[in-house]
Amino acid sequence: MHTLLGYSWAEIASIMAIISVLFSGIYWLIRHGAKMLNNAISAGTFPLQQQSKELKQQSKELINAIKQLSGNFEEQHKSLKELRDEVEQHDKTILLHDEKIKRLEERK
């Protein structure tokens, strides 16, 4: 009968079967352990995940509030510029009136 390294083909097949069962058992243990560890980590970090979601929602609300305030600020800045321009025009008008009054007083 043919042999390989002193073992018959039936013995080699048996050894390979045992090795494959051992490796598949170890693989299953590792996968099962990883799932259990993952579940434990998920359960432990659940409050942190909830806080993260709440924080994201609050940050979105804050960003929207800042955008709204920014828009109001731009409108107020524009209104203030228009008001300054109007005051400047009034100042020029007052100066013109002062000059006219001086000329009229000089004519008298």
2-55: pLDDT as tens digits: 677 778 888 889 999 999 999 999 999 999 999 999 999 988 899 899 999 999
Q: Is the dihedral of CA 11, 12, 13, 14 positive or negative?
A: positive
In sequence order, the 6+-apart residues with CB closer than 8 A to the CB of 7 are 15
Q: pLDDT tens-digit profile of 48-77?
A: 999 999 999 999 999 998 888 887 788 888
Cα–Cα distance, 89 to 97 (Å, whole number): 12
H-type helices in 1-108, by residue range? Answer: 9-107
Cα–Cα distance, 97 to 85 (Å, whole number): 18
